[in-house]
Amino acid sequence: MHNHVVCIGECMIELRQRWDGLLDRSFGGDTLNTAVYLARLGVSVDYATALGEDPWSDEMCAAWSREGVGTGLVRRVPDRLPGLYIIQTAPSGERSFLYWRDNAAARTLFDPPHGAALGERLARYDMLYLSGITLSIYADAARESLFGALAAARARGARVVFDTNFRPRGWPDRDLARKLYRQAFAQSDIVLASVEDLAPLFGPDGEAELAVHAPGAERVLKLASPCVRIAGAGPEITVEAQPVARVVDTTAAGDSFAAAYLAARLVGHGPAAAARAGHRLAGAVVGHAGAIIPATAMPSPEPPP
């Protein structure tokens, strides 16, 4: 299929703490958030993960289908449950996360004997999207299967997109994290990075790490100020974001930026126009609570540049 995308990772039950101490329940996960926003932007997208056989897993699959996200690569695992996380949001809109995910079904996605068969199916897609969080949830053998699938897909002409989303608690071994991130850089055609993600891993040399290990990739780096610097796709450019009047919750700002950026690139827009589309969607997302905003809150399409 033309421009058929698969997002690989984990979706969890999301509990958001309200001002009165009560919790609102939803679901979310970085690559799932991107898949939903891609679908809303008209991209043909499937989600590859593993879930349990419980009612909440059923609820997730049904919700994804309603959003237009394909669930044919969702493996259901008996006696496992989805992971869970709680979002705590500061008055500034910045958020922190508490996780319960050690035995989550998603961790088994690439376990043998399923990993090899899944790799063959992934190789048929035009674009494969994963994140640093995706890498953090698998065991060593499963990661080897994942990297093998990425290599096979690229050999068939697919593009691999790696989003650097870095969560320190998912990486108790920083040396391992650095090794795997470099491996992901080397196997990527587009890298969506941020100085916030790279600094804990590589210190002030994070951007240099990208240039060294992903020299042929399109490198989109979110800076400390609200702008991105794009290299590797022609002349280096910087694209600033428009000011956002009201920040409620920054959850999924990066995930939605990734979706809009990739959706624009898939239909042939240049990096600058794609970055503007990413900024625009992310600006709408941070004005709402939770990872997935109401469909009615999606910004209207911008006219072609």
In a domain, 221, yes or no: yes
What's the order of all strands across the beta sheet hosting 12-17?
23-28, 12-17, 84-89, 95-100
Q: Where are the alpha helices (DSSP H) in the chain?
A: 30-40, 55-67, 114-122, 132-136, 140-155, 174-186, 195-202, 206-213, 253-266, 271-285
pLDDT of residue 3: 61
Q: Residue 1: pLDDT above 50?
A: no
Q: Residue 93: pLDDT above 70?
A: no
> Model-level pTM greater than 0.85?
yes
Across residues 291-301, what is the average pLDDT? 88
**pLDDT tier at 291, thresholds 50, 70, 90:** confident
In a domain, 182, yes or no: yes
CATH classification of the domain holding 207: 3.40.1190.20
pLDDT digits (tens, 9 = 90+) for 60-83: 999 999 999 999 999 999 999 999
Classify 210 as helix, strand or coil: helix
Catalytic residues: 255
In angstroms, the CA 212 to CA 197 distance is 17
pLDDT of residue 289: 79
Residue 243 is classified by DSSP as: P
In a domain, 84, yes or no: no
DSSP 122-165: HTT-SEEEEEHHHHHTS-HHHHHHHHHHHHHHHHTT-EEEEE--
In a domain, 92, yes or no: no
In a domain, 167, yes or no: yes
Print the domain residue range for 198: 4-10+30-50+59-68+106-297
In a domain, 214, yes or no: yes
Q: How many domains does the chain have?
A: 1
In a domain, 279, yes or no: yes
- Phi, psi angles (nearest 5°) of residue 196: -65, -35
In a domain, 208, yes or no: yes
